[in-house]
Amino acid sequence: MTSSPRYRSVALDVDSTLCGIEGIDWLATLRDEHVAEKVANATGMAMRGELPLENLYGNRMELVAPTRSEMPLLSDAYRSAISPGAKEEIAKWRAASVEVILISGGLRAAIGPVALELGFDSAQVNAIDIDFDESGAYAGLDHSSPLATATGKRTLLQKLDLPRPLLAVGDGITDLAMKDVADAFAAFTGFATRDAVTANADFVVSSFEQLTQIILGD
């Protein structure tokens, strides 16, 4: 490894990248088969770029209507699906003074606890907030968040003052949008491969070990 990393910061997707599930799809499996199938199909279309995420995100949330009590269950699902070696490799990046942030269209209430266990502080976790009523029922999402839109990750990343060079990493078309403001984009295929994403990526990787080679150098 070189003494100086090739990339000084990394913007990392969560669903199907850091963890091998799509959170909203997992929540949908707690509902009936019709809801689960409809939500999974919508997620697939959004991640392949076939339909803008903003046309689908709110509809998926209304269909699933996650409850407060389901957030710890989803956190457990994320824990069980962490990409092999991710914790150890991220620790290597940090040891080389690389700043690592999470940038996700998933739910902060479920991602946050897992991220903290992986060494992220709350300011490094960018995700969507949702509201619950007094009974714990779903009461809506934060519509002001750009992360519920097709190019929202790019918009948010542009506002963050991260050290350069910056590598963005993800599996979906919403992640690829970060390429416009990052110095390079790595398509992660460890859980899902989307041709529209890999065809336009600077790197294609299937493991966190491969990411380390890119970030820190040989």
What residue type is assigned to position 138 of the chain? Y
Respond yes or no: is residue 15 known to be catalytic.
yes
The whole-angstrom distance between residue 46's C-alpha and the CA centroid of its chain comes to 14
Residues in Cβ contact with 40 at an 8 Å cutoff, skipping those fewer than 6 apart: 22, 25, 28
Which of 23, 28, 178 shows the shortest CA–CA distance to 106?
A: 23
The one-letter amino acid code at 141 reads L
- Residue 25 structure tokens: 């799809």
Burial group, residue 122, by CB count within 10 angstroms (0-12, 13-18, 19+): exposed
- Name the residues annotated as catalytic: 13, 15
